[in-house]
Amino acid sequence: MVKKWWHNTIGYQIYPKSFQDTNGDGIGDLKGVTAHLDDLADLGINVIWLCPINKSPMKDHGYDISDYEEIDPMFGCKDDLVELIQEADKHGIKILMDLVVNHTSVEHPWFQKALAEPNGKYGKYYIIKEGKDGREPNNWRSIFGGSAWEQIENTNLYYLHLFTKWQPDLNWENPILREKIYEMVNGWLDLGIKGFRIDAISHLKKDFTYQDLPSDGIDGYVDGFPYFSNVNGIGDFLAELRERTFARYDAMTIGEVDEGLPPDILLDFIGENGYFSTIFDFCHAKFLINSAQWKGSLTEMIDALKKCLFAKQNTINGKGMLCNYLENHDLPRIVERFIPEEEIDFYSKSMTGSINFFMPGIVFLYQGQAIGMMNYKKESITAFQDPTTFTQYAEYLKNGMTEAEALAQINLETREHARTPMQWTSEPYAGFSKSKPWFAVNPNYKQINYESQKNDPDSLYSFYKKMVALRKSETYQDLFIYGDIVPMYETESGIIGYERRLNNKSVLIVINAKPNETVLLLSRKIKGVLLSNYKKIMLQDDVLRLQRFQILVLDSDKN
C-alpha cells in the first residue's frame, strides 16, 4: 500500500450546531470550533470533519443546501472558516467539510428555476418525470418514508427525492450539472479545505427503467434500493469526480457508501486508485442491545458483531482502508446501543470505545464520545425536532403500535440522541451556550462533562487519550496502520480478540465484552501491557483472567 498523509488519521466529527455557541444565540458556530482547538489537540486528533455548514433552510439540519458557495449565517461566514483552517493548521489539524451532492434544497436557485420551467435548462439539473395513471412515476419509497416523488403543483410532473421532499435529487446524468459541482468542490479545496466526507454518494446513479414493484408495506410503496444504490455505472461518475477534483489536491475523501457493497467492487471504491480514500464500515450500525432481536442476549450480539467486523476486514485484506467509527450524527450513542442499561459504567464505556479502535483503517470519534455522552430519552414526541423522527413515529402508529410503544421505539433508535449540545462543563446549559440552546441539553451534564474528566487520570476521557496516544506512538503507529490482522479466540463467546502484526512486531488485543470474568489461554509470550482499562492485570504464565468488560492491548512475541 502506498503511504498517504491521511493514513494516520485520528478524526473527530463535529456537529457544529451543537458543539459550541460563542455569540449567545443558542446555536453552535465556527468560532466555537476554533475556541476548542486546544482541547481537540489535547485529545490527540489530527482531522476534523464538519457536518454541513453551507447555507440551508435546515429542513434536514443542513443536508438540504440552498447555496453551495456560502456559509450559513447561523455558523458565521467564510472568514470564520478560513480562520478555523489556519488556526487548526497550527495545531496539526486538517479540516474536512461535508459534501452533499446527491441532492439540494428546494430553496436552491437551481430548483426554483426548475419549478418555473421543468423542461428547461434547470429542469434537467433534477430528475423530473411524468406521473402515471394519476399517481407517481413509480412506487419507490423514500429512505425517510412515504413516496420518493413529489408532485409539482398544477402539473402531472413529479420530482424525485430519495430523502425528504425538501431535498430534490440532482440529475448526475447531466454533464452540465456535473461541471457546476466540480467547480464548487474545487473552490472549497482552493480555500484550504483538505477533503470531504461525501454524503449519500451511493445514490448518484439511478436505474431509469422505473418499473413498479410489488408493495412491501401497507403504504403501497416499496424499498427500491436496488434501483438507486450503487447502481451499475455509478463508477463512471465517481471516477470523474475524483479526477476532476480530489486527485488534483491530494484530498482526503470519506464516502458514505451503503452497507452491502459487493466485495468484487469494494476495491474500486477504496483500493490503490479507488474513488475515495476510505468509506465507512456500517456493519455495526444494525446492532441494538435493546432491540427485540438482541434484548437479553449480549454475548450472542457481540459474537454476531465480531463476525461482521472480521468478515469486512477479510474482504479488504490490506488492499484499502475502512473508516472505523462507532458514533456519528445519524446514530444513537454507542454505549446504549451495545450495553444493557444496568451494566453501563466506566468499564463498559471504555471497552465499547475500543471495539474497532485498533483494527486496520483510520479512526473517527464523534463529539462527546470520549466523555461518554448518553442518549437523552424524551417523554413526549413533541420534544423531538427532526422531520424524519415524526415520519417514523407516524409509520409506527400506522403499523399498529400504541403511542407509548412508538415513542419507546423512537427513543431506542432516533439519531437525535447524537445531536444534543456538547457537555463541556457543569454550568447552566453545560457550558455550550449562555442562552437557551436550540435543542435541549441532556440533564446528566452535571455528572458527564469535559471539564470534570480532562484532568482526571482515571476518567473515560483519559482512557480515550491513552488509546489515541498508543495508536499514534512512534513505536506502534505503522503496525496499527499497515499491519496484518489475525483473528483470535473466534470460538470464545463474548470475546473479541485479534493480533496485529508487522515485521518483527506483534500486538495482541483482547476484549471481554461480557459483564462477567472469563479465562483465556495465551498461545504466545507476553512482553508487556500497553493498555488496559483496569489497573489490575490477572496474568499468570499462559493463563489470562479477564475482568468484566476488560480491554487489554498486549505487546506479544510474534512467534
Cell 483496569, located at residue: 534
Q: What is the pLDDT of residue 559?
A: 63
CA 143 centroid distance within chain: 17
CA angle (14 as vertex; 12, 16 as ends), nearest 5: 160
Is residue 199 annotated as part of the catalytic site, yes or no? yes
Q: Which of 21, 150, 169, 199 is catalytic?
A: 199
Q: Assess contact for 16 and 29: CB atoms under 8 A.
A: yes
CATH architecture of residue range(s) 8-104+175-289+321-467: Alpha-Beta Barrel (3.20)
Quick one: cell of 257?
A: 457508501
Q: Residues for the chain: how many in total?
A: 559
312-363 residue pLDDT tens: 999 988 889 999 999 999 999 999 999 999 999 999 999 999 999 999 999 9
CB of 431 within 8 A of CB of 454? Answer: no
Q: Which residues, in sequence order, are bridge partners of residue 540?
A: 543
| Environment class of 294 (CB within 10 Å of its CB; exposed 0-12, middle 13-18, buried 19+) | buried
Nearest to 461, CA basis, from 20, 43, 91: 43
- Predicted confidence at residue 1, as pLDDT, reads 82
Residue 274 cell numbers, joined = 479507488
Are 8-104+175-289+321-467 and 109-160 equal in CATH topology? no
- Output the nine-digit C-alpha cell for 238: 465517481
- Catalytic-residue membership of 345: no
Q: Which amino acid is at 503?
A: N
Selection from 451, 452, 423 nearest residue 439 by Cα: 423
The reported pLDDT for the residue numbered 386 is: 92
Q: What is the C-alpha to C-alpha distance for residues 76 and 531, in angstroms, rounded to an integer?
A: 41
- Determine the 3-state secondary structure of 444 from DSSP: helix
Residue tagged active-site, from 64, 72, 169, 256: 256
- The CA–CA distances, whole Å, from 539 to 229, 321, 438, 500 equal 49, 34, 50, 20
Cα 499 from Cα 485, distance rounded (Å): 6
Cβ count within 10 A of residue 555: 16
- 440, three cell numbers: 435541549
Q: Which CATH superfamily is domain 109-160 in?
A: Oligo-1,6-glucosidase; Domain 2 (3.90.400.10)
Q: Structural domain boundaries of the chain?
A: 8-104+175-289+321-467, 109-160
In angstroms, the first-to-last Cα distance of the chain is 25
Which segments of 101-191 does DSSP mark as H helices, in order?
109-116, 175-191
Q: Which helix (H) or strand (E) holds 42?
A: helix 37-43
Question: Residues in the chain with pLDDT < 70?
Answer: 559
- Distances in whole angstroms, Cα of residue 480 to Cα of each of 318, 470, 500: 12, 9, 7
